Structure 1
Amino acid sequence: MKKINLKILFVIYFLFFANASAACSKAKVSAVTENKISLEELEKSVDKDDFKKVFDEYKVEGCFVLYDKKENKFIRYNAKRCAKRFTPASTFKIPNSLIALETGVIKDENEILKWDGVKRDRAEWNKDQTLDSAFEFSAVWFYQEIARRVGEERMKKYVNDFAYGNRDVSGGIDQFWLRGNLRISPDEQITFLREVYENKLPVSARSIEILKKIM
């Protein structure tokens, strides 16, 4: 995702998840009640069942969400799954980066955090990291460290302010987005990314600018 145009990330959010039904008869109801997507937006949603062959080819169950800002239209595959909440895992590095910048835990994209010396499976993780490089390599240890520095109370505040999924940061300050209780749906991820793109989150313009730069 290095230096990807934020418009692309904003427009396309593609997620694979395991073990869920492809049925979508109640998708509009669940999307409205759980994700607060307007009925008007849902009426502009287009289901792309022809994407199924791609998922079948790789033997995975997943969903696809594309939001066309110009047309104000969603394109979805497996709409019911798009409305279901899952662990955010590495996608949480987007809000995590914002929170670290906003709290001053990281001053900018070039500040270096020293590698802790623990050898991990990915060689690119086993070195000092900046916010820029950690985002590029999805370096988990870096994001765990900045989360510890942010602390539970401040993290809870920002996750709540962002209306991020179920807003549950329990399960450990350096684990809640990996193995804890935080859950967010692909549709909610799109809503969050739209707010990032449109600078509508309750953070400084500077923090948003740096985030867009590293993305």
Structure 2
Amino acid sequence: MNIKFFIFLLTFVIFSPDVFTQEKISDNPEWQAFFDKHQATGTILIVDGRGSTEKVSVYDRVRANQRYSPASTYKIPHTLFALDAGIVKDAFQVFPWDGVKRDYEPHNQDQNLRSAMRHSALWVYERFAKALGEKNARRYLPPNQ
């Protein structure tokens, strides 16, 4: 799958509650088992644009229709943006610690993509965002976002 298409699809779902205005949405209450297994609260919405008609599947439509702060989920598209833009070479590239002492000890060390995601090392993603710049980041988003 083309990375720009994937990013567009991801941001479309994140930023577009209009998907709920569609008539043909398949509710999937059986997906609750996945959340229960991991003692998690959440929702999932899948938009399948393949074929002549778009199919939407959702677990917990009410929760999916609510807006929440993206919290750490922004790290997923920002990682893809950074990879696509060449700011990051691969999952093993090391990002030297900036030397700023933080309360969460795992942040106070060099990171790679895996450790930055695992430890939620915000400083790494701030570095990606700065290197990419707002103008370039907007190229990855759907129009009018």
TM range (shorter): 0.5 to 0.7
Q: Does residue 34 of structure 1 match 2:17?
A: yes
Residues 18-67 of structure 1: CA deviation (Å, up to 9, x unaligned): xxxxxxxxxxxxxxx83325422x1x21457x99xx8xxx9xxx643376
Distance 2:80 2:138 in 1: 14
Q: Any idea what SS the aligned residue of 2:142 has?
A: helix
CA displacement, residues 113-156 of structure 1 (integer Å, 9 cap, x when unaligned): 11111111221111011112212222111001111000010011
Cα 1:119–1:34 shift into 2, 3 Å? same
Question: 1:35, 1:83 within 8 Å by CA — same for their partners in 2?
Answer: no
Distance 2:113 2:141 in 1: 19
- Decide whether the 8 Å contact of 2:45 with 2:64 is kept in 1: no
Letter in structure 2 aligned against 1:76? Y
Q: 1:144 corresponds to which letter in structure 2?
A: E
Q: Secondary structure at the match of 2:97?
A: coil
Q: TM-score, normalised by structure 1?
A: 0.46
TM (normalized to structure 2)?
Answer: 0.65
SS in structure 2 at match of 1:119: coil
RMSD of the TM alignment (CA)? 3.0
Structure 2 counterpart SS, 1:129: coil
1:137 match = 119
Q: How far apart, CA to CA, are the structure 1 residues paired with 2:18 and 2:104?
A: 35
Q: Which residue of 1 aligns with 2:84?
A: 102
Structure 2 residue ranges without an equivalent (≥5): 1-15, 49-54
User: Which residue, out of 27, 39, 50, partners 1:45?
Assistant: 27
Length, aligned pairs only: 116
User: Which structure 1 residue ranges, 5 or more long, are not aligned?
Assistant: 1-32, 168-215
Instruction: Assess, with a 3 A threshold, how the Cα gap between structure 1 residues 150 and 111 changes in structure 2: closer, same or farther.
Output: same
Change (3 A) 1:47 1:156: same
In structure 2, distance between residues paired with 1:132 and 1:140: 13
**Separation (CA, whole Å) in 1 of partners of 2:19 and 2:135:** 26
User: Which aligned segments of 4 or more residues in structure 1 are displaced greater than 3 angstroms?
Assistant: 72-75
| One-letter amino acid matched to 2:135 | E
Residues 72-111 of structure 1: pairs in structure 2 closer than 5 A: 74=57, 76-77=59-60, 79-111=61-93
The equivalent residue for 1:151 is 133
Q: What is the aligned-residue identity percentage?
A: 33
